[in-house]
Structure 1
């Protein structure tokens, strides 16, 4: 059972950072996965008063505050137009609308969850995270690191024309994905990410979307077994979902 002794709304990121250095304190985010844990928190840090709940757009990029919800990303016309609906497609099967109205992009990415549809999708975009002390770094680099006590302030997505696809398989509609696949074909080449293996998603560049290339890509990942599927099934599923993503992309016009 989760127990919280005190909730604090800091007036600055510096205050939030200082509070977050104590092991008994936690940043809340959307608090959807945290509430399922069996821990006691002395001071829960609420970032909702720091103006980090906006999506800002320029000619070159989108800047997404860490408190922006998954539902807001799902409905954001500009962001989804830029990435051919990739973000909407990746989050629309996450539990339900009520859940997505609370879950935040900051919590989804900072957690680096193996089952994360959000991480899988954003990895194939030209995505960076801004950390309060760590500065700006590519999402792929951030995702490979261990969790620390820094604060993910915002997510930056560079705009690129291209074609995008997202495919996932779930045993039931609102369950965690058995496997998740995102593919992007832009002027910078082709990138694919496979998540829920059940390890966290990893992104790789590939020369093309041909059948043999996709088979080699699927075979290059490691897979594990859990209550949802075996490693062998996930490996087979990876080839199937990559093929579907490639067919989806090849059937689209450039955006």
Structure 2
């Protein structure tokens, strides 16, 4: 059960951060779609909806996505469907239903580092950074590896380059969370192979990515790369599938994504 003692609408990010740090059980709210997944006693709930953090914009070098941007906005954005083969829009379009995608926010998902997240897997395949109010700017990969610290994620920054990217996922049913998801991107000979919902959080298969970049990109190289990725990453078991099944599915999805991105 979720209990909330106080509910506030800060006017600035600074005010939101000060309130967050004031007491241990003060919490920033995202879209709130996943609150019911756990039990929590919240002292002061901090609603960021008045801070104008729902936007998707670009300049000549980068794309910026505000923390309060919803998955539905990611799915339908003309900017995001234009770049990287529309991989970000593709990654969220099959998540449950439009009603949920209208609620779930980018900041709530990325800051929480959800292992089941399709969006994080897709973002990690790009040159993405997070911007935190206190800790500042860092790569998404570094952020995912850090221990949890109280902070406020304000936006995601993605470098605009010539990366081509592909997203694949496996679900037991169309409305379920992914049993496994994969994103692969390519810029010249630089590859990023990312696997998420293992069910641990998304991670780059670095050995496989490096091997492929040095290879001749033959069918044998693709097959070998998918095997390396499945072996270097760890998998777990939950209600959606066993670790052995996830490892087998990893090989298939990586191979399919590589063939498509090439």
TM-score, normalised to structure 1, is 0.95
Structure 1 residue ranges (4+ consecutive) displaced by more than 6 angstroms after TM superposition: none
Contact 1:67–1:106, Cα closer than 8 Å, also in 2? yes
Distance 1:188 1:63 in 2: 26
| Aligned positions of 1:64-79 closer than 5 A | 64-79=65-80
Return the offset for 1:135. 0.6
Report the counterpart of residue 253 of structure 1 in structure 2: none
Q: Deviations over 1:167-187 (max 9, x none)?
A: 100111111111100000113
| Aligned positions of 1:29-48 closer than 5 A | 29-48=30-49
Report the counterpart of residue 112 of structure 1 in structure 2: 113
Contact 1:25–1:45, Cα closer than 8 Å, also in 2? yes
| Aligned positions of 1:185-204 closer than 5 A | 185-187=186-188, 189-203=190-204, 204=206
Distance 1:188 1:117 in 2: 25
Return the offset for 1:232. 0.6
Report the counterpart of residue 25 of structure 2 in structure 1: 24
Return the offset for 1:148. 1.4
Contact 1:160–1:187, Cα closer than 8 Å, also in 2? no
2:244 to 226, 232, 251: 232
Report the counterpart of residue 127 of structure 2 in structure 1: 126
Contact 2:107–2:155, Cα closer than 8 Å, also in 1? yes
| Aligned positions of 1:1-255 closer than 5 A | 1-21=1-21, 22-187=23-188, 189-203=190-204, 204=206, 205-208=209-212, 210-250=222-262
Instruction: Please list every run of 5 or more consecutive structure 1 residues that lacks an aligned counterpart in the other structure.
Output: 251-255
Q: Deviations over 1:113-168 (max 9, x none)?
A: 11111111100010000000101000000011122111101000111113211110
Return the offset for 1:36. 3.3
Q: Deviations over 1:18-38 (max 9, x none)?
A: 111122211111111113322
**When the two structures are aligned, how many residues end up with a matched partner?**
250
Contact 1:164–1:249, Cα closer than 8 Å, also in 2? yes
Distance 1:198 1:35 in 2: 19
> Which of the two has greater helix per residue?
2
Contact 1:192–1:206, Cα closer than 8 Å, also in 2? no
Distance 1:37 1:222 in 2: 25
Contact 1:17–1:151, Cα closer than 8 Å, also in 2? yes
- Secondary structure of 2:141's counterpart equals helix
- Secondary structure of 2:72's counterpart equals helix
